[in-house]
Amino acid sequence: MRIDDFAVRRVSLAVSVIGLIAVIALAEFSAPVDAAPWEIDDSMLGNTVKTSGIVKWTRMVKGVLIFEIGEGSGISAVVLSPDERELALIVKGGRIEIEGRVEKYEGNIEIVVNKVRALD
């Protein structure tokens, strides 16, 4: 059975618009909380935060990029399976902004990063 292009266009346009609204709503709903690195503590566990600072050091361990971000006191952050852009941005001395979920690993607070942006 063949459906005419006009009907397909109506359905596909409706799917596009509804889908786009849902994507934007989900993106907004999950908007992170702004916080300085030294402000991130146990009370923020499970929340998505946005913070910025200078990368103090980086280390790659079994495909996971670990680094510390901050000025003065900093906070540990990890990128699981970093992509090419993330690896290019997260370098020692670079000023970046990160977004991610606050989690606890071996008793220490860390950010599991899902978004990185260069500030330089």
Partner 1 sequence: MIEVLGFILFGCFAGAFTGLVPGIHTNTIALIAVSFAASAGFGVPLVMMIVSMSVVHSFVSFVPSIALGAPDEDSFISVLPGHRFLLKGLGLHAIKLTAIGGLFACIISIAMLPLFAMFVLKTVHVIYPAMPAIIIIVFALMLHDEKGTTQRKWALYVILLSGSLGLAGLRAGIFGNAIFPLVTGFFGASTLIYSMNKNTGMPAQEFMAKKYRRHTVLTGSALGVIAGALVSLLPSLGPNQAAFILRKIIGKMGTSQYLIVIGGISTVNAIFAFFVLYLAGKARTGTAAAVAELVELSAGDLMLIVATVLLAAGFGVVATEILGKFTLTHISKLPYKIINILVLGMLALLVAGLSGAMGFLLFLTSTGIGLTALTSGVKRTNCMAFLMVPTLAFYIGI
Start-to-end Cα distance in the chain: 57
Q: Residue 48, interface with partner 1 (CB under 8 A)?
A: yes
Query: Residue 105 — φ and ψ, nearest 5°?
Result: -135, 120
- x-marked contacts with partner 1 along 17-46 as a string, rule CB under 8 A: x-xx-xxx-xx--x-x--------------
Q: Residue 85, interface with partner 1 (CB under 8 A)?
A: yes
The answer to whether 99 and 112 have CB atoms below 8 angstroms apart is: no
Q: Residue 100, interface with partner 1 (CB under 8 A)?
A: yes
61: CB partners within 8 A, 6+ apart = none
Write out the two tokens for 49.
Answer: 């935060």
Residues that bind partner 1 (CB under 8 A): 2-3, 5-6, 8-9, 11-17, 19-20, 22-24, 26-27, 30, 32, 48, 60-63, 81-85, 87-89, 99-100, 114-115
